[in-house]
Amino acid sequence: MKVLKFGGTSVGSVESIRKVAEILSSYKKKEKFVVVFSAMSGITNLLVEVGQKASTTDISYQQVLKTIEQKHVSTAKTLIDVKNQGKVIAQLKLILNELQDLLHGVYLLKELSPRSNDLVLSFGERLSSYLVSEFLKQEGVDVTFLDARKVIITDSSFGSAKVDFKKTDKAIKDYFKDIKSSVVTTGFIGSTDKGETTTLGRGGSDYTASVFGAALDSEGIEIWTDVDGIMTADPRKVKRAFTLPQVSYIEAMEMSHFGAKVIYPPTLQPAFKKRIPIWIKNTFNTAFEGTLINEKTSATDHSVKGISSIENISMLNLTGSGMVGVPGVSGRLFGALARNFINVILITQASSEHSICFVIDSKESAKAKDAVEEEFEHEIKAGKIDKLHEKDNLAIVAVVGDNMRHTPGIAGKLFSSLGKNGINVVAIAQGSSEINLSVVIGKEDLTKALNVIHESFFLSDVKTINVFVVGVGLIGSALLKQLQKQSTYLQKEKGFKINVVGLANSKKMLINENGVALTSWKEKLDEGEKANLKEFVKRMIDLNLRNSIFVDNTSNKDVVSFYHNILDESISIVTPNKLANSGLYKDYQKLQETAFKRGVKLMYETNVGAGLPVINTLNDLKDSGDKIIRIEGVLSGTLSYIFNNFKGDKKFSDIVKEAKEKGFTEPDPRDDLNGKDVARKILILSREAGFNLEFDDVVVENILPAPCLKAKTVEEFFVELEKNNNVFSKKRDEADKANKVLRFIAKLENGKAEVSLQSVDSTHPFFSLSGSDNMIAYTTERYKERPLVIKGPGAGAEVTAAGVFGDIIRISNYLKG
């Protein structure tokens, strides 16, 4: 005979109860069965609440009681035919009256003992099972109702009573001797020898099914719930979790013990003992196979089977010199905890024996502290053992799998993926069976950690990179277009899925955890909410998504002011914005240090030479041990264009005008000609090369005559420039005579940075520069005779966006590593 169990959500509503009846109707044709029901979903929690309220003389308990009544009565009214309704509702009311009397007593006594509490909780299963059994009868499924308290005999540890298997097995067998029909019974509850009602622990209806299954030597136990079986992780926390077709009893035990609520941990023992297979099935997706739990684990490509977690735990640490080499300390510690019924979830001890760490449910931490401090009262007074140190708001993540045994590299992979996402590991434990590796982390990092680990063990083929883009002007929109175009390639060939989660410009912002559709980002952003950078950053941090990258496509100072905070929250940054790296040296250094400390990246290849590989090359040279002797560069596309075209008898002012008309200059060309932008770039290169320079240390030659600088408007400036053309033509003619050309060059040598107009001869790499190209020459120990030269377009939205994209890919590669 098969034993089936339907959980709270499966009997939580009229529709789901109809589904259950459908499932059982098809069973009826094949064989007799035992079916265990939980309380309707939410009812057990309401019963906990109602008991609490009554015992604290909070009269609103009556309201809660009404809610419980209404839920059952209204379900009965919809499900049960009119001719039977009266009888069924009367019976429900009879049960509810008993509950009402009990609660009234609790209210008067102002006391709720564990014993009364169990009795209160028992009503959930009693009501639901009775109600569903009547509906089944009506639907033609012949069932007999059994109150499981008649056959499940337990000890009197109320709240999580232990089953007396000898008595229970006999009682169940005896009961079934005379039963011809299928049986409906109540999950979760039992009774003591003396007839006191007990409960088997929250989630205990699964256990009831297993107890019946074992007693009846059932050929199988089916646990029907609201998910497609046991999955690689809790699907509520990890969207990409998938069903495991087969897991071993031991794996299921480890996963459930560490939080996989889909099956209540003790359930596995009775079934395991008799080798009864357990199926986990979905009431709402009956065609799906679900998960089979038996002795074997399935062959899988993955070394890890599943990841589970427990929230709201505290870690307690017992330390002190008096513990070293003293036998019996741990015995006393855990003895004290056991005497107070405190369940220890995890233990670690450093080999120094100087401390023992253990992890428990936060709700029990005060009790645990008292118990342990009482046990070690003398040692604490004598200063040999310190008071218990407590750390709250933690969570445990456990990685489980039979195949983890003898598979090297699992811990490495686990810690490296957590580390790259800035998740701090507070404690670690691995059982010697090697099928469970547990880490304790901050509770706020839990969802992120689960997803990071899930991705690295199960979905190593595709990794999601979550990107937040601020600034969707020329560069930003070019970047989004490139991201869209490359997305299929990146997924297929590189294994990245780039999810643009956040978008903002100065007016609007938009955050969508599932990713903004890049085909329609403009419309979506227009419909977005009013921009607020602070809020945008806060939400990005609060979302705490794995593999997050913040992309700043602005040239805005305000955005930079958030960088430190963003990096400190373990989010990488990519930006063409020069302001962060060309401000005060101490700020530049602080950002670098923070990124390093948090294990994230701050990348700004496009700060110099747009998409040209200038900064990465410099870093590669430096990191590989080369020594930078000199850096020279034509670092402004505008100035490059102007001086490359300043030949023949062209007037300087005409060329500047031409450049402005072509859109190559800033609105006021003096912003290019004053050399400040170039100075910022050489400053950044100098800092990357290892020099501690400030902006004012860069010597900038002023090439503009005073009247040009003084001119109030751009028009006036051009008038003055025309008057002063001879200043420039003189320089050019002199250069010409010496077979040289004029170039506006930034230079770093001997720790000194300068920007000046120079004449160079044909042996110089910049001699042949044309158009508006940038050029950078690195002279190093290795590139001494002839410098390493990088040349190409150093401006433009497309190439800059490509550079930003390159940085995003570099970070993605690092995260994937």
Q: How far is the CB of 4 from ligand ADP (least distance, A)?
A: 12
What radius of gyration do the chain's Cα atoms show?
A: 36
Q: How far apart are CA 470 and CA 533, in angstroms?
A: 9
In the list 20, 103, 231, 689, the residue contacting ligand ADP (rule: CB under 6 A) is 231
- Residue 7 or 803: the one with the smaller Cβ distance to ligand ADP is 7
Identify whether the C-beta of residue 470 lies closer than 8 Å to the C-beta of residue 254: no
- Residue 238 or 685: the one with the smaller Cβ distance to ligand ADP is 238
**Which amino acid is residue 211, in one-letter code?**
V
Q: How far apart are CA 32 and CA 243, in angstroms?
A: 29
In the list 55, 197, 218, 225, the residue contacting ligand ADP (rule: CB under 6 A) is 225
**Which amino acid is residue 553, in one-letter code?**
N
- Residue 212 or 376: the one with the smaller Cβ distance to ligand ASP is 212
- Restricting to residues 193-222, which ones interact with Mg ion according to CB under 5 A? 203
**Which amino acid is residue 147, in one-letter code?**
D
Active site residue 177: no
Q: In sequence order, what are the residues at sequence separation of 6 or more whose Cβ sits closer than 8 angstroms to the Cβ of residue 439?
A: 396, 397, 398, 414, 415, 418, 425, 426, 427, 428, 449
Q: How far apart are CA 393 and CA 410, in angstroms?
A: 26
- Restricting to residues 115-144, which ones interact with ligand ASP according to CB under 6 A? 124
Q: Which partner from the list ligand ADP, ligand ASP, Mg ion, none does 310 bind, CB cut-off 5 to 8 Å by kind?
A: none
- Residue 186 or 225: the one with the smaller Cβ distance to ligand ADP is 225
Size of the site for Mg ion (CB under 5 A): 2
Question: The tokens 């609060």 sit on which residue?
Answer: 542
- Of the candidates 336, 295, 444, 320, the one whose C-alpha atom is nearest the C-alpha of residue 388 is 320
611 binds Mg ion (CB under 5 A): no
Contact segment (CB under 6 A) with ligand ADP among 246-254, 259-267, 578-586, 761-769 equals 259-267
Q: How far is the CB of 163 from ligand ASP (least distance, A)?
A: 15
39 binds ligand ASP (CB under 6 A): yes
Q: Which partner from the list ligand ADP, ligand ASP, Mg ion, none does 234 bind, CB cut-off 5 to 8 Å by kind?
A: ligand ADP
Q: How far apart are CA 304 and CA 561, in angstroms?
A: 42
586 binds ligand ADP (CB under 6 A): no
Identify whether the C-beta of residue 397 lies closer than 8 Å to the C-beta of residue 232: no
- Determine which one of 71, 681, 747, 791 is catalytic: 681
Q: How far is the CB of 9 from ligand ASP (least distance, A)?
A: 9
Contact segment (CB under 5 A) with Mg ion among 5-13, 64-72, 388-396, 555-563 equals 5-13
DSSP class per residue in 344-370? EEEEEE-TTSSEEEEEEEGGGHHHHHH
Q: How many CB atoms sit inside 10 A of residue 270's CB?
A: 22
Size of the site for ligand ADP (CB under 6 A): 21
DSSP 3-state of 713: coil
What burial class does residue 745 get, using C-beta atoms within 10 Å of its C-beta: 0-12 exposed, 13-18 middle, 19+ buried? buried
Q: How far is the CB of 205 from Mg ion (least distance, A)?
A: 6
Strand ranges across the sheet with 572-574: 529-530, 508-511, 496-504, 463-470, 548-552, 572-574, 602-603
- Residue 38 or 160: the one with the smaller Cβ distance to ligand ADP is 38
- Restricting to residues 166-205, which ones interact with ligand ADP according to CB under 6 A? 203
Torsion angle in degrees (nearest 10) through CA of 479, 484, 488, 494: 20
- Residue 72 or 680: the one with the smaller Cβ distance to ligand ASP is 72
- Of the candidates 548, 554, 583, the one whose C-alpha atom is nearest the C-alpha of residue 568 is 548
Convert residues 296-335 into a mask of x (bound to ligand ASP by CB under 6 A) and - (unbound): ----------------------------------------
187 binds ligand ASP (CB under 6 A): yes
- Tell me how far CA of residue 666 lies from CA of 659, 669, 673, 730, 811, in angstroms: 10, 5, 10, 26, 32
Q: How far apart are CA 786 and CA 777, in angstroms?
A: 9
Q: In sequence order, what are the residues at sequence separation of 6 or more whose Cβ sits closer than 8 angstroms to the Cβ of residue 520?
A: none
- Restricting to residues 293-312, which ones interact with ligand ADP according to CB under 6 A? 306, 308
Burial letters 225-252, b for 16+ CB under 10 A, else e: bbbbbbbbbbbebbeebebbebbbbbbb
675 binds Mg ion (CB under 5 A): no
- Tell me how far CA of residue 116 lies from CA of 149, 154, 188, 708, 724, in angstroms: 15, 16, 15, 92, 99
262 binds ligand ADP (CB under 6 A): yes
In the list 2, 9, 505, 640, the residue contacting ligand ADP (rule: CB under 6 A) is 9
549: phi then psi, degrees, rounded to nearest 5: -130, 130
Contact segment (CB under 6 A) with ligand ADP among 78-86, 226-234, 347-355, 536-544 equals 226-234
In the list 2, 3, 4, 7, the residue contacting ligand ADP (rule: CB under 6 A) is 7
Q: How far is the CB of 252 from ligand ASP (least distance, A)?
A: 16
227 binds ligand ADP (CB under 6 A): yes
23 binds ligand ADP (CB under 6 A): no
Q: How far is the CB of 225 from ligand ADP (least distance, A)?
A: 3
Contact segment (CB under 6 A) with ligand ASP among 200-208, 448-456, 636-644, 710-718 equals 200-208
In the list 2, 4, 8, 119, the residue contacting ligand ASP (rule: CB under 6 A) is 8
504: phi then psi, degrees, rounded to nearest 5: -150, 145
Q: In sequence order, what are the residues at sequence separation of 6 or more whose Cβ sits closer than 8 angstroms to the Cβ of residue 308?
A: 233, 234, 255, 256, 258, 259, 260, 397, 398, 400
Q: How far is the CB of 285 from Mg ion (least distance, A)?
A: 17
290 binds ligand ADP (CB under 6 A): no
- Residue 34 or 80: the one with the smaller Cβ distance to ligand ADP is 34
Query: What ranges in 701-796 are assigned the alpha helix state H?
Result: 706-710, 714-723, 725-737
In the list 3, 183, 184, 230, the residue contacting ligand ADP (rule: CB under 6 A) is 230
Q: Which partner from the list Mg ion, ligand ADP, ligand ASP, none does 230 bind, CB cut-off 5 to 8 Å by kind?
A: ligand ADP
Contact segment (CB under 6 A) with ligand ASP among 199-207, 219-227, 584-592, 636-644 equals 199-207
Q: Which two three-digit tokens encode residue 536?
A: 């945008």
Contact segment (CB under 6 A) with ligand ADP among 211-219, 227-235, 589-597, 723-731 equals 227-235
Task: Tell me the catalytic residues.
Answer: 681
Site residues (CB under 6 A) for ligand ADP? 7-10, 38, 203, 225-227, 230-231, 233-236, 255, 260-262, 306, 308
